[in-house]
Amino acid sequence: MPQNQLFGEPAKASGGFAPLADRMRPQTFDEIVGQDELTGKDSAFRHLIEQDKIPSCIFWGPPGTGKTTLAEVIANVSQSTFVRLSAVMAGVADIRKIVQTAKEQMSANGRRTLLFIDEIHRFNKGQQDALLPHVERGTLVFIGATTENPSFEVNQALLSRAKVFVLSSLNESDVKLILTRAIEDKERGLGKEDIKVSGEALSLMSQIANGDARAGLNLLEMSVQAVGADKTGAKFVEPTTVKAVLQRTYLKYDKKGEEHYNVISALHKSLRGSDADAALYWLARMLESGEDPMYVARRLVRFASEDIGIADPQAMVQAVTAMQAVHLIGMPECTVHLAQAVVYMARAPKSNALYVAYGQAAQDARETSDQPVPIHLRNAPTKLMKELGYGKDYKYNPNFKGPVEQDYLPLELKDRKYL
């Protein structure tokens, strides 16, 4: 298919010297792992691409989930001219050149131009604005890739002209499948060599990759290169080899098993017990072992109300702000924000009054769901409702000085107290 690779040409152009991660980059939809909602045989997106009806779009997802790969597969399928830019190195002048060429091609043979911009979040407002008129007129079909939330990093005007597709983080089974393919593939992978990777080593690499296929393939390649061949020419990769390549002992932590729940429980109970030092330790234990920082942030938001609540309302502010920081900048920079929230909550006064109160209110709500809303509390947006007495005798509090004697609960729960 017609392609024109610019500014960030793939490493596979280097032939045998290309890294394993690049050599194993999927070339068809069927080779892509872990994104079935987008690339599965019955997906609407895949049908659009195969019919060459490609919409302007933005691929948003964590590193190593296949954003660039997906763009290159689209290039292989499409009859359009494919142009690739890296936002790190390109600018408005490059866009202008591409637009001019695109216009000439459209006039000459009716062929569209697909402009793929990797790391689109690195384009400033002016650079993003330069794309707008050409995307709007259809001169270019824009495809962007970003690890950052497009709502914050992409101009709203450009965002409104492009459909955002979210790529999911790969699970350990996905990464293991990708690594196994690389070991067995004789054309692009390591299949020509006699390489034996133990099941334990393969599982360890899949876990350490933390959903990043590129990281897993790089680790596999380094591990194979680090081990010597035996007399028969075979190379054996064991967990010790993987750990040696990492230059540190891999921390024991199963993000999906019992240890996951044990450690988060230890963090929670250390916070409840106001032990800031222990809380920091358990936080570090989780993050340094590869736990998703957003999972920790969500638990802190819950803790802020469940165990502190109205005893210190600022705890919720600290927790939500930390979660936003995690979302915006990610690891490893966000560790200090989570540490701040953890220490604040450990030192804050504790109260479970809100937690208990809601539990009691929820129980009453389940048992009295048939109780009508008192008629004076009902809204009366129509004439009929007013005639039926909706809102009658309601006392509008701002019109009164001091407390207003008025019932707000159903009759069956009159005078019930939760706090």
For the chain, the domains span 3-166, 172-246, 258-347, 367-413
Looking at residue 349, what is its pLDDT? 97
Joined together, the tokens standing for residue 147 give 């690890």
Surface-to-core class of residue 375, CB atoms within 10 Å of its CB (0-12 exposed, 13-18 middle, 19+ buried): middle
Looking at residue 55, what is its pLDDT? 84
- Nearest residue to 80 via CA among 60, 59, 56, 58: 56
Q: In angstroms, rounded to a whole number, what is the distance separating the alpha carbons of residues 361 and 379? A: 23
For the entire predicted model, the pTM comes to 0.55
- Residue 237 phi, psi (nearest 5): -105, 120
Q: How many CB atoms lie within 10 A of CB 111?
A: 14
Q: In angstroms, rounded to a whole number, what is the distance separating the alpha carbons of residues 139 and 141? A: 7
Walking along the chain (419 residues) 10 residues at a time, the average pLDDT comes out as 44 60 88 87 87 85 85 83 81 84 82 84 82 83 86 82 85 90 90 89 85 88 87 87 72 57 89 95 88 90 94 96 91 93 97 92 88 88 86 90 88 88
- Nearest residue to 181 via CA among 30, 74, 290: 30
- Nearest residue to 290 via CA among 223, 212, 217, 207: 207
Q: In angstroms, rounded to a whole number, what is the distance separating the alpha carbons of residues 272 and 257? A: 23
CA 194, 198, 204 angle in degrees (round to 5)?
125
> What does the longest C-alpha to C-alpha distance in the chain come to?
97
Say how far residue 275 (Cα) sits from the centre of its chain: 31
Surface-to-core class of residue 162, CB atoms within 10 Å of its CB (0-12 exposed, 13-18 middle, 19+ buried): buried
Amino acid at 86: S
- Is residue 122 helix, strand or coil? helix
CATH architecture, range 258-347 = Up-down Bundle (1.20)
The answer to whether the beta carbons of residues 374 and 392 sit under 8 Å apart is no
Domain 172-246 grouped into CATH 3.40.190.10 = no
- Nearest residue to 206 via CA among 184, 174, 243: 174
Looking at residue 247, what is its pLDDT? 67
Label the pairing between strands 140-146 and 81-86. unpaired
Looking at residue 1, what is its pLDDT? 44
Domain 3-166 grouped into CATH 3.60.15.10 = no
Output Rg (C-alpha) for the chain, integer angstroms. Answer: 29
Amino acid at 294: M
